[in-house]
Amino acid sequence: MTKERNGAGRLVLAAIAAAAITLLVALLLTNIFERQQEARNPFYRVVALTDTTVDPAVWGKNFPLQYDDYRRTVDQVRTRYGGSEALPRTPTDADPRTVVSQSRLEEDPRLREFWAGYAFAEDFREERGHAFSLTDQMFTGRQAAAAQPGTCLHCHASMYVAYKRAGNGDLIRGFETLNPLPYAEALERIGARHPIACIDCHNPETMELQITRPGFIEGIRALRASQGQPDFNVNTSATRQEMRTYVCAQCHVEYYFQGPEKRLTYPWAKGLTADSILAYYEENGHKDWTHAISGAPVLKAQHPEFELFSQGIHARSGVACADCHMPYKRVGATKISDHHVRSPLLNINNACQTCHHATEEELLSRVHTIQDRTFELRNIALDAVLDLTRAIGREKADSASTRVRAAQNYQRKAQFLTDFIEAENSMGFHADQEAARILALAINYARLGQAALRGEPVTPPAPARTAPPQVVTPNSGSRR
C-alpha cells in the first residue's frame, strides 16, 4: 500500500518536473521567436512624419524605443561636478514648478560677486535634462531680473517649425523675425511649446541628422570661412560623424546677441579656442554688462562645450558627442543610439568601455582626477579675478584714470576666460590641458590687472608659444 503510494507520489513529482521543464522550454521558444522578429523589422512606420511634425509623441509612434529613452531626460541624477538634484519647491502663481535643481549660487556664493550686476547673480541653477529646457527658461529668476528677448528660444524650444512658419517658409527670416521680440511675445508666436524635440536634429523623411538652428548654420560658416573654406553649407557638406557632434553644437556653445536686432551670433570668426573668441570680442568691443563692483565692461561665457571639446583628445581621435552622450545600446535584438542624453559617467559601460578596456571604477577615477585638478585651478582663478575686481572697486571713484581703465580691461579678459571653464559643463574633462591653459591665462591676466592698478610695470602676456625651434642637425637638414 505504502509502496504503491510512494510510486504514485514519484509519478506526480515527475509530472510536475516535466510540466515545469515544458514551461521553461516554451518560454525560451517564444523569446527566441520574439528576438528573431525584432531583428527582421528594425521599425514600423505607423504614422507619416512631415516637415511640420513637431510633437515628439507622434514621432514616438514610429520609434517607440528612442522615444522611451528621450522621455527619460526628466531624470535628475548627480555626478561629482554636474548633474542635477531634484529639490522640492512650493509652486507660486508666477512659477508653477514643484521641483527644481540645486542653486549654483548657494553652492558657491563667490559667483554672486563674480556676476554682480548681471541677471546670473540673481538666479542660476544646475541645468536639468533636455525635457526641462523650455520650462526652466520660462521660470528662471533671470526673466524677472532683466527683460529677455525672443532669441533665447532659439535653443530652449523646438524652433524649426516655428521659425519656418514665422518666416513664411524661410528659416532665417523667421529667426530674424522672432529674435527682437520680447520673450513672452515670441513664446506666444511659436504655437505648440516643446523642449528640444526630434525634428531639431532629424530629417522627418530619412531620419538623417540635420541642422535646424540658424545660429549654428551661420556660426560654422564663419568658422570654416576663417579656415579657408568659404560658403560652407553644413547640411550638405558635413560628414555623418561630424553631424553627430554638430547637432549638439547647435546649442552647446558660446554665443552673444548682436546689435539691437538681438541676432544670435556664435563668435567663431577667429577660431574656436577661448582666446580666439576673446580676441573676437576685443575686436568688436561687445560687452554683456558693466560689472557692478568694478565698473569693468565684462562678458558672460555660456556653456562652450563644443568649443572646449574640439580642443581635446577625444575630438582629435574622431569621437563625436553622441558616441559618449548617446552611445549605442541593445534593446532585444536591435541596436539603437541611446536617446536618454546624459553624462557618460552615469553610463560608463556603454559610453567608455566600447573603446577603453579598463574597469568602470578605473575609468571613473581617471575622469575624477582630471575634474578635481580643473576644479582646484578654477577656484584659484575665481579668487584671483575676485581679488582684482574688489581692488578695482575700491578705486572706482577714480574711474577715469588710465590705471583703473587698464585694470578693468584685464578683469574683462580674466573674467571671460575663467567663466569659459566655469560655464563649460565638463569641469575640464572635454579638454583637460586646454582647460588648464585657459585658467592659467586667466590667473595671469588677474595678476597683470593688479599690477596695472598699482601702476607697476608689467610683463605683457606672451603671444601663444608654439613648439621650441627645431634643432637642425646635419642629418635631418633644414626642411625650410
Partner 1 sequence: MTRKRLLIAVAALIGVMIGLGGFTFVYARGFSYLTNNPEACANCHIMDEHYAAWRKSSHHTVAVCNDCHAPHDFVGKYWTKARNGFWHSFYFTTGTFPDPLRITPGNREITEQACRYCHAAITEMIDHTSNAHDADERLRCVRCHRHVGHWVR
Beta bridge partners of 297: 290
Question: Is residue 464 involved in binding partner 1 (CB under 8 A)?
Answer: no
Residue 334 backbone dihedrals phi, psi, to 5 degrees: -105, 160
- Residue 146 within binding range of partner 1, rule CB under 8 A: no
Based on the shown chain and the rule CB under 8 A, indicate whether residue 333 belongs to the binding site for partner 1.
Answer: yes
Determine if 147 is a binding residue for partner 1 (CB under 8 A). no
At its nearest, how many Å lie between partner 1 and the CB of residue 43?
16
Smallest distance from partner 1 to CB 357, Å: 8
Q: Does 350 bind partner 1 (CB under 8 A)?
A: yes
Q: Which of 29, 47, 146, 192 binds partner 1 (CB under 8 A)?
A: 29
∠ CA 169-257-249, nearest 5°, is 70
The answer to whether the Cα torsion of 235, 238, 244, 246 is positive or negative is negative
Q: In the complex with partner 1, which residue's Cβ is closer, 28 or 57? A: 28
Does 15 sit near partner 1 (CB under 8 A)?
yes
Chain centroid to CA 404: 36
Q: CA-CA distance, 295 to 272, in Å (whole number)?
A: 28
Determine, following the binding rule CB under 8 A, whether residue 358 of this chain makes contact with partner 1. Answer: no
Query: Considering only residues 6, 11, 401, 464, which one is a binding residue for partner 1 as defined by CB under 8 A?
Result: 11
> Among residues 37 and 227, whose Cβ is nearest to partner 1?
37
Contact yes or no for 197/158 (Cβ under 8 A): yes
CB 87 within 8 A of CB 101: yes
Q: Which of 102, 337, 353, 379 binds partner 1 (CB under 8 A)?
A: 353
Greatest Cα pair distance, the chain, in angstroms, is: 116
Residue 235, Cβ density class (10 Å: 0-12 exposed, 13-18 middle, ≥19 buried): middle
Residue 25 binds partner 1 (CB under 8 A): yes
Q: Which is nearer to partner 1, 350 or 379 (CB)?
A: 350
Answer yes or no whether residue 355 interacts with partner 1 by CB under 8 A. yes
454, 395 Cβ separation under 8 angstroms: no
Q: Which positions ≥6 away from 221 have C-beta within 8 Å?
A: 231, 232, 233, 234
Q: Kindly tell me which of 284 and 359 has the beta carbon lying closer to partner 1.
A: 359
For position 365 contacting partner 1 by CB under 8 A, the verdict is no
Instruction: Report how far apart, in Å, the C-alpha atoms of 370 and of each of 127, 276, 311, 434 are.
Output: 21, 24, 15, 12
Q: Which of 329, 378, 412, 430 binds partner 1 (CB under 8 A)?
A: 329
Q: Considering only 13-21, 298-306, 373-381, 384-392, which stretch makes contact with partner 1 by CB under 8 A?
A: 13-21
Q: Which is nearer to partner 1, 172 or 328 (CB)?
A: 328
367, burial (CB in 10 Å: exposed 0-12, middle 13-18, buried 19+): buried
Interaction between residue 18 and partner 1 (CB under 8 A): yes
Write out the residues near partner 1 by the rule CB under 8 A. 4, 7-8, 11-12, 14-15, 18-19, 21-22, 25-26, 28-29, 31-33, 35, 39, 329-330, 333, 349-350, 353-355
